[in-house]
Amino acid sequence: MRNLTKYGKEIAIGIVPVAFVFLIYVGFPPAVLVMSVLMVSALFLFSRARGGGLAVGAAGKKAATRKPSFLNFEDIGGQEQPKRELKEALEFLVERERIAKLGIRPLKGILLTGPPGTGKTLLAKAAAQHTQSAFVAASGSEFVEMYVGVGAGRIRDLFKEARQLAVKQKRESAIIFIDEIDAIGGKRDGGGQHREYDQTLNQLLTEMDGIQGDESVRVLLIAATNRKELLDSALLRPGRFDRHIQVDLPDKTGREHILNIHARNKPVDPEASLTKIAEETFGFSGAQLESVMNEGAIYAMRDQSELIRMPHLSQAIDKVMMGERMDRETTREERERVAIHELGHAIVAESVRPGSVAQVSLTPRGQALGYVRHHPQQDSYLYTKRVLEEQIMIALGGAVAEELHYGGRSTGSRGDFEQATNIVRTLIESGMSDLGIIHPQALTQDMWSKENGAILEALTEQTRKLLGAHMETFRHMLAHLIQEETLSGEQLRNRMKQLVA
């Protein structure tokens, strides 16, 4: 019976044409036969579009077959605070009798918010393992269709399948996980209830309201989104999503924990410092850190090395940040201009933040012909006016270096200027410009342009004076960088100290 189900499609493909030919052979009218087939097909498709009858909702079927891999909270690195909050919120599924004695209303929903790749899905899977619950997963995009009523039907099927799966697995609770919930939970603009995604959201709200604490199978909805601000207020209120847990990018300690987790099954050289790699990956998400370890293993395989060494991991950081190395042929003049441009960034960075440059490279990666890799001395989340001005000067360093050597700029500075103007906007909106504390919407376009130009002009002049005092450094380091294609931060610092001395 199981084999018949498994190969049912292949059997049907073989039998149907033979039956069709046989009926024509015995005298059955072909036109009537074709009309019958078309009518049955139309009925089947209509049933699926309605989300009921002959077809069970697609989201519900898919969700029921998804089982979480064995994953504990201890296997997730860098998210200690979210894990503590989530464990506390899950107590009502674990300590049911204690919760009932205290008269606590069971939670109905938990919303995980934060940047992509920070581990929201992993937290949901670990929650199911922690509470020994049946686990059903779906994506918000699975509920969005052009036909009205399909998404709502799939929402109903999703909750139904979660309860049935819990009964089948003999579990007392079920966790439904909806990733990218903003696809169905966006704000309604008052345009009526005829749109498909409004109907889907209404059905989700109804299902959440129907989750009762005295059910034999207790259901908890966990959702994840990168854009909480887009969600409808009816979805965010208490009684729907009772807990909002922020899952942010990991700090240095968290990054090192994540790197160690992904190094468990890899032959990492004992001399390779994952602590240093954690320092150089500020702003990386858990997914990016996993990719660093994976790419490091790939580089080790290319070098036919039995161990993943420090150079492999350094190359992996560049790969994740900038993209794959490109085989672009550049002229001598272009290479020299790129080298001067990148040295401009590096010299300014070392002048305003000693020890911040990790490497200067002329290796083309992604859209960049060269790059400077920095590593922060410590994680920072608040910035002073001087720190932001230093960032702008570092961004302008490449263009100013080209001006000093060639008398003009190139198109290679486009991304630098975009970065500089974004930081200027942060300065103005934070009340750290000469305009003082002012709402951004109160500024006209002319006021924005004037203040932006004044800040950039003043910092460009400071950068010009700084690089003008290091022309000898350019002369000594240029030939080395062009020949070797890479320059370590230590080499740059030693040369700058020698010339100053």
Which pTM was predicted?
Answer: 0.69
Range 291-298, long-range pairs (CB < 8 A, 24+ positions): 291/316, 291/320, 292/259, 292/316, 292/317, 292/320, 293/259, 293/262, 293/263, 293/266, 294/262, 295/319, 295/320, 296/266, 297/266
- Give the model confidence (pLDDT) of 117-146 as tens digits: 888 989 998 998 888 889 998 888 777 765
171 and 136 fall within a common domain: yes
212 and 277 fall within a common domain: no
Asked which of 230, 246, 262 is the last residue of a domain, the reply is 246
Work out the angle between the directed axes of helices 196-209 and 150-168 (0-180°, nearest 10).
30
- Give the model confidence (pLDDT) of 259-316 as tens digits: 999 998 899 999 999 998 988 888 889 999 999 999 999 999 999 999 999 999 988 9
Q: Is residue 327 part of a domain?
A: no
Q: Is residue 307 part of a domain?
A: yes
31 and 64 fall within a common domain: no
- Please state the rounded mean pLDDT for residues 99-111: 81
- Please state the rounded mean pLDDT for residues 88-114: 82
Gyration radius from the chain CA atoms: 30
296 and 236 fall within a common domain: no
Q: What is the pLDDT of residue 328?
A: 63
Q: What are the b/e assignments for 262-292, b being 16+ CB within 10 Å?
A: bbeeeebbeebebeebbbbbbebbbbbbbbb
What's the chain's average pLDDT? 81
195 and 110 fall within a common domain: yes
384 and 445 fall within a common domain: yes
From the list 290, 342, 389, 451, the catalytic residue is 342
215 pLDDT more than 50 = yes
Q: What is the pLDDT of residue 42?
A: 59
- Regarding predicted confidence, which is higher, 106 or 162? 162
Q: Reduced to 3 states, what is the DSSP secondary structure of residue 216? A: coil
307 and 161 fall within a common domain: no
Q: Which amino acid is at 131?
A: T
351 and 223 fall within a common domain: no
Q: Phi then psi for 118, rounded to 5 degrees?
A: -95, -5
Q: What is the pLDDT of residue 1?
A: 44
**Gap between the Cα atoms of 318 and 39, Å rounded:** 59
Q: Which two tokens stand for residue 496?
A: 């700058």
44 pLDDT more than 90 = no
Q: Is 402 a catalytic residue?
A: no
382 and 294 fall within a common domain: no
Q: Which amino acid is at 312?
A: H
Q: Is residue 271 part of a domain?
A: yes
Q: Which amino acid is at 10?
A: E
233 pLDDT more than 80 = yes
In the chain, how many domains are there? Answer: 4
The CATH number of residue 336's host domain is 1.20.58.760
313 and 366 fall within a common domain: no
Q: What is the DSSP letter of 6?
A: H
Q: What is the pLDDT of residue 49?
A: 46
The CATH number of residue 119's host domain is 3.40.50.300
92 and 238 fall within a common domain: yes
Residue with tokens 């995604």: 197
Q: Are 128 and 176 in contact (CB under 8 A)?
A: no
The CATH number of residue 309's host domain is 1.10.8.60
445 and 413 fall within a common domain: yes
- Please state the rounded mean pLDDT for residues 15-38: 64
What range does the domain containing 339 cover?
A: 332-500
